[in-house]
Chains A and B, each alone.
Chain A
Amino acid sequence: MDRRKFLTILGSTVAALGSAHLFSATPSYGRKLGTLKKAYTFFTQAESEFIEAAVARLIPADELGPGALEADVPYFIDQQLSGEYGAGARFYNQGPFGATTPYQGYQLALTPRQLYRAGIAATDQYCEETYGKRFAQLDPEKQDEVLKGLQGIAGDISLKDVPGTTFFNHLLSDTKDGFFSDPAYGGNKDMIGWKLVGFPGVPAMYMGLIGRNEPYHVEPVDLRSLQEAKAPVDEHGHVIHRRAAIPRPTTAPTSRPVDSSNSDDSRPEPSFAV
């Protein structure tokens, strides 16, 4: 791809930034809760309502586009919990259990499945006692309050059976996993997550591109389109990307101070392994 085209794309991206406020702030993508077209195998009816409501707050549909609910993240989590990960099949689960320091990692006698089951029940019970409604029935502002309370950044909710923060952290990280993993796993529907950040999906050859300060604006490709031979590939099987039809709208983050009650100043998750 030649440089001039990239610059044009960059130009229109910038234009999109300026008009971001024109988008409606009310989510227009949200679907009615409980209308997933696939079947849950782990979550009960009440649990699925909780999960759908919670992920819709964690990664909401907003002016940048659809969120975790629209990306089928609840289904992804359900499938993960139904399988090896949910069973803790690759974790050391033998006792004894006992007093632990804050530096010894996960020490609950619960598999991820058990943690979710207990965590959802305890959160719903807390909401019933506090607001007279289950989590899924609360309005979004209240739901955010509860989530912040679980996370331990505001309100500090302590649940009966499980540490709220541990439950919350699982929920948040599984939600993000479902938003960004290959759609083959049931989440990231229509590659919503990848399109949001500008990730091209199953990677390609970047020999001629590495080192350039230029946006790479292409239609992402997932495993399925490759396995069904719906995406062009080179002789090694690397994807040959098509340029994206519509430039990705990114919005510069607000320059006003962020809502500090929800700010998480812990060390960010680095990405390296050497």
Chain B
Amino acid sequence: MTTTLKPVDVVIIGVGWAGSILAKELAQTGLKVVGLERGGNRRQEDFTLPGIHDQLKYDRRLELFENLSRTTLTFRNTTREVARPMRRHGPFPWGEGVGGAGLHWAGWTWRMTPWDFQIKSQTIARYGERMLPEDSTIQDWPITYDELEPYYDKFEYTLGISGKAGNLKGEIQPGGNPFEGKRAREYPNPPLKRSYGETLFANATRELGYHPFPMPAAQMSQPYKNPDGVTLGACVYCGYCMNTGCEVMAKAVPQTTTLPVALKTGNFEIRTHAAVTRINTSGNRAISVTYFDGQGRELEQPADLILLTAFTWSNTHLLLVSGIGKPYNPATGTGVVGKNYSWHNALPYIPLYYDEGHIFNPFMGAGALGTVIADFQGDNFDHTGLGFIGGNILAAIAMGHGPLTFQPTPPGTPSWGSEWKKALAHYYTRTIQIIGLHDHLSYRGNYMDLDPNYRDIYGNPLLRLTYDYGPNERRMSEYLVSVGDKIAKAMRPSKYAVYGLDAHFNAGASYGIIHQVGGAITGTTPANSVVNKYLQSWDVPNLFVIGASSFPQISSFNPTGTVGALAYFAADAIKNKYLKNPGPLVPS
């Protein structure tokens, strides 16, 4: 028996970065907002020393990530295979609990470039149609970089990002990324300190004629008060950002930025252990959501406005199980829900091993401590004759690496025994890592739908992912490996290795990069997208689907800067357009 609750103005499904931004913005207008979060509560004060410095708990057992015994994905490389569940977390575990993955993210806070929003038209204009691989389904965004710029700015100032501008109002700035889009003002905080490994990378890439700059980081380089009046502390480089919270409130996460402000309004209530299983519709209106609470009760929460902010997987999953929008069919190319999934791997991955005279102390660092070059990103270099489009950002990182997850030994070293022990004892402090994050096109065969064989504990079919690398990525891999090789040589380690993409995406591979996009993509018409440019559902105008699910393809950059900007952009459209005139914001 479902119990129907008293209606509220707004229901938010999933309280991560996107959900908490929307909650703050709408609760501040006086609307009554309820956030339903399937995980537990997580408060800043729960993340204290010394207990949070426990690698086994957080890095290996992934305490803060989704509990897969409840729900997971199934996976296959192609439609010819039977998908099997990801029984354990593989390369991309995902978040759960208040704050979402935003609580334990690494804090690399990027904007995409103007080219990223117009990848298709710009490629055709510069190189002709032939540069697009046959089965690629990439499309331009319906939003431009310039439109999103004020919202990127708002996200960066809310979080207090530490960085160096490369393009201030069209003027290229020394020390920043010269390839970035125009920004209206400098980052709110100066860059973090540079680790020694990064210095080697910066010197080598500069000698090669590239343009190293500090990674924009959600770790405070100094104490900071944000425009909402919230104060964050300065990072102490304890090296423990990833997979857990920060003990000194130096990392911008929902708990240290958006959530306290949203909760202070008195208009925002979070219900934890509330797993949404359905969005209920009547005609073209969403009327309520159904969820299970921690006591196993099935509840129905009616609301005027429903915001789906439950990350790429659940955003797509809930649309499919609720029958909202037409599911994508790769055989015919019709339908849109589940379409254009993409992910990016590390490409290349370059460990460099030094012997005499270099000590890197890998346990010192911060989640987004890194030095980057974007010379090979997007269309920043001429692709004529290369046979692929796009590229990568390449970063030397000092994220903080304890020995439970960082056990560097040069290629050819046995994986156990005395030789291994000797090599590890020597190289743990003498190794640095460079990784690239790369563009990945969307393809006809990479998508999500409902699995016919497996169910979650609530009785819903699992989300099925069909995914592999495409021809563009494989050709790009060869090229980027050669770039990586050149840089590695210039850094003069005693030994190094450069790894490109494996033959196929492997769901059993180790944990690395957590950027999933697509499934509820944004576009110009209901035929090419699930949501319009304001992330409003074409089919159900009082439903907005916000998150990386809206990206039509993934760019080289970590997605959260853009997710945050889109959340502010959508909040603005809801407050200033939708509430005045509830209905479709873009005619279809």
Residue numbers of A with Cβ under 8 A of B are 57-60, 62, 64, 67, 85, 88-94, 96, 98-107, 144, 147, 151, 172, 175-177, 180-182, 184-185, 193-194, 196-200, 202-207, 209-216, 223, 226-227, 233, 236-239, 248, 250-254, 258-260, 262-265, 267-274
B94 to chain A, nearest CB (A): 12
Assess the B417–A262 pair: CB atoms within 8 A: yes
Contact of A93 among B49, B87, B502 (CB under 8 A): B87
- CB within 8 Å for A206 and B364 given contacts A93-B69, A101-B81, A215-B359: yes
Q: How far is the CA of A197 from the CA of B242 in the complex (A)?
A: 21
Assess the B363–A199 pair: CB atoms within 8 A: yes
Query: Which residues of chain B have C-beta atoms less than 8 A from A236's C-beta?
Result: 49, 236, 247-248
Assess the B417–A199 pair: CB atoms within 8 A: no
- CB within 8 Å for A180 and B402 given contacts A90-B69, A105-B88, A204-B238: yes
Query: Which residues of chain B have C-beta atoms less than 8 A from A184's C-beta?
Result: 54
Assess the B405–A271 pair: CB atoms within 8 A: yes
Assess the A237–B349 pair: CB atoms within 8 A: no
The reply to whether the CB of B414 lies closer than 8 angstroms to some CB of chain A is yes
Contact of A106 among B67, B88, B357, B505 (CB under 8 A): B88
- CB within 8 Å for A180 and B87 given contacts A90-B69, A274-B108: no
Assess the B408–A213 pair: CB atoms within 8 A: no
- CB within 8 Å for A91 and B421 given contacts A197-B428, A237-B247: no
Q: Would you list 5 pairs from A and B whose C-beta atoms are within 8 A, ordered by A residue?
A: A104-B75, A199-B402, A203-B363, A205-B238, A272-B242
Query: Which residues of chain A have C-beta atoms less than 8 A from B416's C-beta?
Result: 57-59, 147, 172, 175, 262
Residues facing A in B40-73 (CB within 8 A) are 48-51, 53-56, 60-62, 67-69, 71-72
Residues facing A in B357-398 (CB within 8 A) are 357-361, 363-365, 367-369, 397-398
Q: How far is the CA of A57 from the CA of B357 in the complex (A)?
A: 32
Contact of B49 among A194, A197, A238, A253 (CB under 8 A): A238
Q: How far is the CA of A88 from the CA of B419 in the complex (A)?
A: 32
Q: How far is the CA of A205 from the CA of B85 in the complex (A)?
A: 41
Closest partner residue, chain B, to A178 (CB atom): B56
Query: Which residues of chain B have C-beta atoms less than 8 A from A102's C-beta?
Result: 506
Query: Which residues of chain B have C-beta atoms less than 8 A from A172's C-beta?
Result: 415-416
Query: Which residues of chain A have C-beta atoms less than 8 A from B71's C-beta?
Result: 92
Interface string of B561-581 (1 = CB under 8 A from A): 000000000000000000000
Contact of B361 among A62, A90, A216 (CB under 8 A): A216
Q: How far is the CA of A147 from the CA of B351 in the complex (A)?
A: 27
Query: Which residues of chain B have C-beta atoms less than 8 A from A91's C-beta?
Result: 68-69, 87-88
- CB within 8 Å for A273 and B242 given contacts A211-B193, A236-B247: yes
Query: Which residues of chain B have C-beta atoms less than 8 A from A200's C-beta?
Result: 363
The reply to whether the CB of B278 lies closer than 8 angstroms to some CB of chain A is no
Contact of A212 among B196, B243, B497 (CB under 8 A): B196
- CB within 8 Å for A198 and B56 given contacts A91-B68, A91-B88, A270-B433: no
Assess the A203–B85 pair: CB atoms within 8 A: no
